[in-house]
């Protein structure tokens, strides 16, 4: 609502697709990565100072001054700079451990759901948004050779996620 009155800022993003990792800067009035992705009126983002690397490639990355990235192709996104939540925009939520399969990647972390008196099924039914935040995340792809990587927050494309499930690692096991 107040975004039209705030100044444009530069936010660094890392966008993962099935085959590419694209790093660049988006100019936006939004502060949170999920707002940048969910509130975009266009089906794409225009990035600047772009570096594109094919997963598993040892070759030189592609560099471009600008690139257009199709949001439907984005599996998940990571912001280089964490953003503190605004207290006035906070909605009380319950954290639940989650495993998200967004092939060829897996993401584990915490998802924040509306409180539903302990009814996780109902909370998952009410979960909406084009991109969902997973905090305290670890992501990887064994098939593509992408190692387990930690991120404060990963915005997962809800439409590309094949499984979004409550997750509890076996006692003593690596959480990822």
DSSP string, the chain: --GGGSPPEEEEEEEE-SSEEEEEEEEES--SHHHHHHS-SSSEEEEEEEEEEETT--SPPEEEEEEEEEGGG-SEEEESS--PPPGGG----EEEEEEEEETTEEEEEEEEE---TT-HHHHHHH---SEEEEEEEEEEETTTTEEEEEEEEEEEETTT-SEEEE--PPTTS---
> Does residue 28 sit in the same domain as residue 63?
yes
Across the range 111-134, mean pLDDT stands at 76
**Average pLDDT of the residues of the chain:** 85
In a domain, residue 173? The reply is no
Longest CA span, the chain: 52
pTM listed for this prediction? 0.84
What is the pLDDT at residue 171? Answer: 61
Q: What is the pLDDT of residues 25-84, one digit of tens each?
A: 999 888 888 889 999 889 999 999 999 999 988 889 999 999 999 999 999 999 866 666
Number of domains in the chain: 2
Across the range 148-152, mean pLDDT stands at 94
> Does residue 55 sit in the same domain as residue 100?
no
> Considering 37, 54, 79, which residue would you say is the last residue of a domain?
79
What is the pLDDT at residue 1? Answer: 46
Share of the chain above pLDDT 70, in %: 82
- Residue 122, domain CATH: 2.30.30
């Amino acid at each position: 609502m107040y975004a039209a009155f705030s100044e444009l800022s530069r936010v660094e993003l890392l966008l993962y697709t099935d085959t590419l990792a694209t790093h660049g800067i988006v100019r936006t009035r939004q502060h949170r990565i999920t707002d940048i992705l969910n509130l975009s009126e266009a089906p794409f983002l225009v990035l600047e100072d772009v570096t594109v690397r094919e997963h598993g490639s040892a070759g030189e990355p592609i560099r471009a001054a600008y690139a257009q990235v199709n949001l439907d192709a984005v599996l998940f996104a990571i912001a280089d700079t964490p953003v503190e939540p605004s207290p006035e925009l906070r909605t009380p939520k319950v954290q639940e451990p989650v495993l998200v399969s967004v092939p060829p990647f897996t993401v584990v972390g915490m998802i924040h759901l509306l409180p539903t008196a302990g009814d996780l099924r109902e909370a998952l039914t009410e979960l909406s948004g084009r991109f969902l935040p997973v905090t305290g995340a670890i992501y990887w792809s064994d098939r593509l050779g992408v190692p387990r990587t930690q991120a404060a927050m990963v915005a997962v494309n809800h439409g590309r996620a094949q499984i979004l499930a409550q997750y509890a690692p076996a006692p003593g096991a690596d959480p990822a």
